[in-house]
Amino acid sequence: MNLSTASAAPALPRIEEGTAPALQFELDVLPRLLLVDDEPLLLAALEDMLEGRNYHIVRASCGSEALEHLHKLKFDLVLLDLRLPDMSGHQIMDVINEKGMDVDVIVMSGDVGIDAAIGALKRGAYDYLRKPCSREELLKTVTNALAQRRLELANQRIASQLENSEKLYRYLVDSSPDLIYTLNHEGRFTFVNDRAYQLLGFTREELIGKHYSILVHDEDLERARYVFNERRVDERASRNVELRLKCHSGTDADRTFNNTLMTISLNSIGMHVPDTEVRKLEFFGTYGVARDITDRKRAEEVISYQAYHDILTDLPNRMLFKDRLGLAVIQAKRRATELAVMFIDLDRFKLVNDTLGHVKGDELLQQVALRLKECLRRGDTLARQGGDEFTIVLPELRDRDDARNIADKFLECLHKPFDLDGHEVHISASIGIAVYPVDGESIDELLRHADIAMYQVKALGKNGHAFYDRAMLDVSHQKIALEQALRRALELDELEMYYQPQIDVVTGRIVGAEGLMRWNHPQRGVLMAGEFLPFAEDNGLMLPISDWMITALCRDMQIWNAAGGQSIRLSLNLSPQYLDRGDFFEKMRGALVRYGISPAQIEVEITENICIRNPQYAIDQLNKLCQLGVSVAIDDFGTGYSSLSYLHRFPIHTIKIDQSFVKVIHDEQGHYPVILAIISIARGLGLHLIAEGVETEMQARYLKANGCMTMQGYLFHHPVSLAEFICVLEEHYPVPERNAVALGQGPA
């Protein structure tokens, strides 16, 4: 089959790829011709005359064969004889018309009557040739028929493209997420797409012919005048101009209108008609696209609000507070007035947060924020700095009493209990106050000095307020110097372990000792743990200090074991921060192995709040210690937020009665229910019991009489160094007995 293009075919316009595929196919393939005649010689002659014209030719010798070909194949042209043995050519044309076959017909007949020709033309024949016809006449007729056919197909393709293009444009415009419009030179709508109804609630009919001002918010009309009357057509045309448009949401049964506002970002360009005579552009309107950015504007407002406000309490954050404080300082300077800055830190918040969890801690902060706001004057600003810290600026201060009165109100409102889903919580606050301009003229100075005053309150027992004084700065510098010295103390080996013996009051024997840390400060002498460990906790030093403590303790135990003290059990306090660290167990086991210490000689003291904060995690960690052979004691029992439902689940061996309960014993015959309750709990759970801080014979007799047989305190021994502790052991265990103890024959 020859598929090359016929050289005689006329050039046609190029058809764009992807448009009207069926028509494209018909224009690109070789023309297919069907020759129908019952005379074989005539068929052969016809084929010879058409030879070399690049036609695909099919022959048929009767009407039924012709119809069979027409049903199977698609033809461009049929050369049809009217006289066939089984049917007439007119009948074949009737079938073609009836079936709607897209094919042209040239009738070739020897009939000289006019009726045959009229019948063929009525049935839509392209032409009528009388036999015999010349080759030139045949070729000319066939070529013209095919050319006309190709032109008709090309016109159909163009019409189809135009129709599809119009439909596509209409679809794109009406389904656009943007509002598309045109205005005439008077600013009246000549076109709006369907988005106008979806966004604004106005139908196309309600807007066409109306002036654009019916949509624009009154405050934006001036800006809209430049946009909706835009005449520029290049880069100078309006771009991304924000306007608010009125939305018509319809009416209800009472015909009550609800008008809201929408913010749009609008682009527009002028439309001009070229005037060839005067060679200028005549302005006839504006074309514009308006995008709904209401959601974006709302999101921007939310983001902007969140950037300057604390999400938890909805108070201004540090950034907004500094901005407002800066404005207040400028106004105070201009008016020559004073203002006060307060720095508030909640006392005991960390204990509540660790005990009841962060969710309850957040609820407490929210309740605190509400109470503090109720104490403020109009114009005052309360902000959350972060954590449990709040700051306040009090502008237009008449005198210091104004700030003092508000601070008293804060303390009074925080004194009332907080209800956290059934948990009654009591907190207080430490408040530092700095006054402009005497305590500082810049934002940072005022905040820093208020912070220093707040820490002074904490150092004096918390739950109060204080104005900044220059002497406080020296104390603050001392604290910084203390922190720096503490870091050096680890490197210079200035830390030392002291030991306070624990006595069995029945036998008078030492049965254990509590390890307590001391710092041999080069200038200040020996410092107790309470004087420097709070700084360590606040400055991330508890972990390295705890590592040092375990190593030092195991090293000391190796020494006193050599002196015959294997029967003595040593207890040491573990910081919650250290217990939370995943590798503390490995640190403990490694130190025991390195110094050859039996785990049975170690008892770890933890506060009960560790157990309540994350019970399951604490159980897992303490079980590891017990599997290693280390026992566990709860220190300061009864001072935290204990939950007895959890207590029996923990692998605990010892409860220590806090010295605050022991101190209140002033009468040997008195009734002290808290101590009696703790003794009963220990007895009921089968736990060992130790009383701390025993300082008088009366306290010792009361505790012994009620079932507590192990005690420690100044009545028996002060904490002593390792060398002194070994001397104490030698006094309690003479040499032969110490050897017996070493052999496992002495008292436990």
- Are 300 and 308 within 8 A, CB to CB? no
Half-sphere CA count of 353, side-chain side, radius 13 A: 12
What is the reported pLDDT for 446? 94
Alpha-carbon distance of 697 to 339, in angstroms, equals: 57
Question: Which stretch of DSSP H or E encloses residue 447?
Answer: helix 443-459
Phi, psi of 338 (to 5 degrees): -105, 160
* Type of residue numbered 543: L
Alpha-carbon distance of 633 to 419, in angstroms, equals: 31
193-196: long-range pairs with CB below 8 Å, 24+: none
What is the reported pLDDT for 366? 94
Q: How many CB atoms lie within 10 A of CB 514?
A: 22
What is the reported pLDDT for 643? 53
Residue among 467, 498, 674, 646 nearest 572 (CA): 498
Angle of helix 584-595 relative to helix 615-628, nearest 10 degrees?
Answer: 10
- Measured over the CA atoms of residue 353, residue 359, residue 363 and residue 369, the dihedral's sign is positive
What is the reported pLDDT for 260? 35
What is the reported pLDDT for 249? 59
Phi, psi of 147 (to 5 degrees): -65, -45
Alpha carbon separation from 709 to 259, 493, 628, 699 (Å, rounded)? 82, 37, 27, 12
- Are 630 and 664 within 8 A, CB to CB? no
What is the reported pLDDT for 1? 31
Structure pTM? 0.46
Alpha-carbon distance of 36 to 21, in angstroms, equals: 30
Alpha-carbon distance of 384 to 366, in angstroms, equals: 11
- Are 20 and 154 within 8 A, CB to CB? no
Alpha-carbon distance of 472 to 456, in angstroms, equals: 7
Per-residue tokens: 65: 């064969």
What is the reported pLDDT for 5? 31
Radius of gyration (C-alpha) of the chain in whole angstroms? 51
Buried b (16+ CB within 10 A) or exposed e, 624-656: bbbeeebbbbbbbbbebebeeeebeebebbbbb
For 237-360, where are the E strands, in sequence order? Answer: 241-248, 259-275, 280-292, 338-347
Domains of the chain: 21-167 (3.40.50.2300), 176-299 (3.30.450.20), 312-468 (3.30.70.270), 495-741 (3.20.20.450)
Per-residue tokens: 707: 């079932």
Contact partners, residue 405, CB within 8 Å, separation at least 6: none
- Are 27 and 12 within 8 A, CB to CB? yes
- Are 107 and 127 within 8 A, CB to CB? yes
Helix (H/G/I), strand (E/B), else coil: 504: strand
Residue among 623, 631, 567 nearest 603 (CA): 631
- Are 177 and 197 within 8 A, CB to CB? no
Phi, psi of 176 (to 5 degrees): -65, 140
* Low-confidence residues in the chain, pLDDT < 70: 1-28, 226-227, 229-240, 249-284, 473-480, 564-566, 581-582, 608-615, 638-647, 733-748
Alpha-carbon distance of 260 to 218, in angstroms, equals: 13
Largest CA-CA distance found in the chain, in angstroms, rounded = 155
* 391-441 per-position pLDDT tens digit: 999 998 888 899 999 999 999 999 999 998 888 889 999 999 999 999 999
What is the reported pLDDT for 740? 38
H-only helix segments in 499-643: 529-538, 542-562, 576-580, 584-595, 608-613, 615-628
Alpha carbon separation from 689 to 101, 472, 637, 665, 704 (Å, rounded)? 109, 44, 10, 17, 11
Per-residue tokens: 655: 């409860």
Torsion, CA 327, CA 329, CA 332, CA 333, rounded to 10: -110
Residue among 210, 183, 189, 151 nearest 11 (CA): 151
Per-residue tokens: 390: 């709040």
How, if at all, do strands 710-711 and 688-691 pair? Answer: parallel
For residue 336, what are the β-bridge partners?
A: none
- Measured over the CA atoms of residue 500, residue 504, residue 508 and residue 509, the dihedral's sign is negative
- Are 475 and 459 within 8 A, CB to CB? yes
Contact partners, residue 433, CB within 8 Å, separation at least 6: 340, 341, 342, 343, 403, 404, 407, 450, 453, 465, 466, 467, 468
Alpha-carbon distance of 327 to 454, in angstroms, equals: 24
